Chain A
Amino acid sequence: MSGLLLAILILLIVPLLLGALWNRLWQSLHIAQAPEITGKNFPGTYLSGVFVMFCIFEAVVILSMKFDMPFSKVVMMVSVLFLVLCGISCVLCQRELKILLLPPDVKSATLQGIKAEKKVYFILLLLVFLAQILLVAHFAPVTGDDNTMEMIQTSITTDTIGAVNPLTGQPYETGLTLQGKLLNLPLFYAYFIRIFNADPAVFLYRLIPAWVLLMSYMACSTMGRGLFRKENGGSDSRRQLFLVCYGILLTFGGYLFTTPGYQLIHGAWKGETIVITVVIPYLLGCLLQLREKNIRAMAILRFLLASVTVIPLMPWRKGIVYLLCIVIIAGIIWICGKLRDFMVRNTKM
């Protein structure tokens, strides 16, 4: 139990620190604006941190496979890396972390300072989130053709990476395909299970879905920030209502295996579910943020980071198709917009 609680803490804290460090890096290179100008963006920073975690882990695992390192060594290396980076973040990103974690003024730090409408939306959101957690806890995980648990059990039992077939438990004769070497999300989970001595089934089928649910709300919030901009009459309460509506749709949306609601409740640990409920909305949120000049550069960097994160989460060629679709659609919209502006200008002339 204590292992699970520690895992929860680490999954909440480490991405935030890494996300802050990611922001600070680009600020120091004068590519991104200071947080006082861009404003508070907790979901964006947290999700960036999660993607940075995935990328770091993926890089370490691929290198380890090259040198046939045992899984325990990978665990140690990753832990040291995360510790060092989090330490650097705590030292260099104090300003950013204060802006992210502390309320902007004394008045909004108290319950009385928050509007009644916002309080109600927050409570509704919490209730919806809890309802989804209960659904996740109630239903059997739909494992079907998923072999995540087998990969976790294999890496922990045999202390190897990519050397033993998770389906049979026998050593590979010819080895993994490129796709197999890149799909390392199960090893990411195995890392946490190993360092916290957590129960694999509870961690994978209960804790991770809660984490993915939380991230999906954050990704939706990123989209909300782009859809309900202040200059278009948007406000915090509209964004909160948007999140509440989204949450209700997900809660009751598990009627068919094709819906994201179903995937979130019955298979949230899968990489593909993380891509469709977290990464894709996050990418769309980044595209919407391209309209705001002061965060445009950061939006592009976050878009690229999220795109790279798709590799350890799902078959890379399939991930490329999703990314291509988004880029093609955005490109068509942009070209049509430019053509329309061109025609309007010509008509006026």
Chain B
Amino acid sequence: MQEVIDLILHVQNTIEIYGKYQALFWVALVYLCFKRKKENQDVLRYSVVSLLLFWNPLFVYGIIHTFPEVAAYWQLLWVLPVEMVIAYGLTIALQETTAHQEGKKIYWGYLAAVVVIIALAGTIVPSESDTVQAADNRYGIPERDMEALQCLDQVEGPITLLAVNDVLKVSRKYNGSIVNVYGSSLWDPNVPNDTTDGYTAEMYRLYELMQTPVDHEEEITGLAADMGCGYLIISNGRREQEEAEVPRDPNQIVDLSVDVQKWCLNGYEALTETTYYHILRRK
């Protein structure tokens, strides 16, 4: 039962139940409750029964143990269309204003006020959660990664690639000809992986080495060559330099740039360099 209670509390924190559209939803429900008209009962009943069902500990227990696919329990609340309930309440309230002659005169003023209230409850109010960036390009791939992938456009034939995680993750979104040594499902359990195929020990070892590539150039290039990687994309250190905290003492600033010559082993040669990456090719 403790896990059920923990889950319910987690869901409440996730959907920010004390603000934004949840508040408008409760206002709409209370309004419909007080209206007590027969035609409003459908929405009211569905909303109330949904909430009672989803917050019922027995139901929660049944769902999380029978359907582990429902990894995020709060997603079940999508069965209750909150926006439609709010829209329904607003429609009834706005139409009621036209029952009186004075209301008819300022009806459009009421509608404008509704738009302002909704906007204030939504994205107009700055939120830490609203962190989606404007698109760099039509693929939605960060420009620094796109720049590296575009260097491979001129290559004819299939490209077997080993790259840092950020580039590897988006490489096949950009170009279906790229073959990766391992996929993002190796390190990200949220990535759908609808197969019983697994990854080999060499792939896991290569992934671990790629997280701390400094001083592992020989082993990485050796493993990559064994697996037939035609191209390597590694960081040139600029991003790490930008993200590192700048120390007060200028003498303590550490140069994080990567010497590409250290990577020219096991048949690899430097092909080109982009703003953030070195690209190597197997001879």
* A20 to B223 alpha-carbon distance, docked (Å): 59
Most chain A C-beta atoms within 10 Å of own C-beta, residue among B78, B137, B183: B78
The answer to whether B134 has its CB under 8 Å from any CB of chain A is yes
The answer to whether A333 has its CB under 8 Å from any CB of chain B is yes
Given contacts A241-B91, A317-B69, A333-B46, contact A140 B135 (CB under 8 A): yes
The answer to whether B49 has its CB under 8 Å from any CB of chain A is yes
Most chain B C-beta atoms within 10 Å of own C-beta, residue among A153, A242, A256: A256
Q: Which residues of A are found within 8 Å of B42, using beta-carbon distances?
A: 226-227, 288
Most chain B C-beta atoms within 10 Å of own C-beta, residue among A205, A243, A255, A322: A255
The answer to whether B182 has its CB under 8 Å from any CB of chain A is yes
Least distance between B204 CB and chain A CB atoms (Å): 14
Given contacts A245-B90, A329-B79, contact A318 B67 (CB under 8 A): yes
Given contacts A232-B39, A252-B122, A325-B76, contact A205 B130 (CB under 8 A): no
Most chain A C-beta atoms within 10 Å of own C-beta, residue among B16, B83, B140: B83
The answer to whether B271 has its CB under 8 Å from any CB of chain A is no
Chain A contact residues, majority secondary structure: helix
Please give me the residue from chain B that is nearest to A322 by CB atom: B79
Asked if residues A255 and B123 are in contact (CB atoms below 8 Å), the reply is: yes
Q: Which residues of B are found within 8 Å of A167, using beta-carbon distances?
A: 172, 180, 183-185, 191, 193
The answer to whether B181 has its CB under 8 Å from any CB of chain A is yes
The answer to whether B61 has its CB under 8 Å from any CB of chain A is no
Could you list 22 A-B pairs, sorted by A, with CB under 8 Å?
A: A140-B135, A140-B136, A150-B176, A153-B172, A167-B172, A173-B197, A174-B196, A177-B194, A227-B42, A241-B94, A245-B87, A249-B21, A250-B83, A252-B124, A255-B127, A261-B83, A261-B122, A266-B132, A281-B81, A281-B84, A321-B76, A329-B50
Q: List A residues at the B interface (Cβ < 8 Å).
A: 137-147, 149-150, 152-154, 156-158, 165-170, 172-177, 179-181, 183, 199, 201-202, 205-206, 220, 223, 226-229, 232-234, 238, 241-243, 245-246, 248-261, 266, 272, 276, 280-281, 284, 288, 315, 317-318, 320-322, 325-326, 328-330, 332-333, 336
